[in-house]
Amino acid sequence: MKKIRIGAYMPSAGDFPAEHGVPEMATRLERAGFSSLWVSDHVVMPSQIQAAYPFAKDKRATWRTDTPWYDAMMILAMVATVTKHVELGTAVLV
Evaluate whether residue 57 is within a structural domain: yes
Query: What predicted TM-score, i.e. pTM, was given to this entire model?
Result: 0.81
Q: What is the pLDDT along the chain (94 residues), one digit of tens a residue?
A: 889 999 999 998 888 998 999 999 999 999 999 999 999 887 778 888 889 999 999 999 888 888 888 899 999 999 999 999 999 999 877 7
Evaluate whether residue 72 is within a structural domain: yes
Name residues whose C-beta falls within 8 Å of residue 79's C-beta, 6 or more positions apart in sequence: 10, 22, 23, 26, 37, 39, 86, 88
Evaluate whether residue 2 is within a structural domain: no
Number of domains making up the chain: 1
- Give the range of the structural domain holding residue 51, as residue numbers without chain letter: 7-93
Evaluate whether residue 53 is within a structural domain: yes
Evaluate whether residue 56 is within a structural domain: yes
Answer whether 71's CB lies under 8 Å from 44's CB: no
pLDDT at 44: 79
How many Cα atoms are found within 13 Å in the side-chain-facing hemisphere of 11?
13
Evaluate whether residue 1 is within a structural domain: no
pLDDT at 31: 98
Distance of CA 67 to the CA centre of its chain: 13
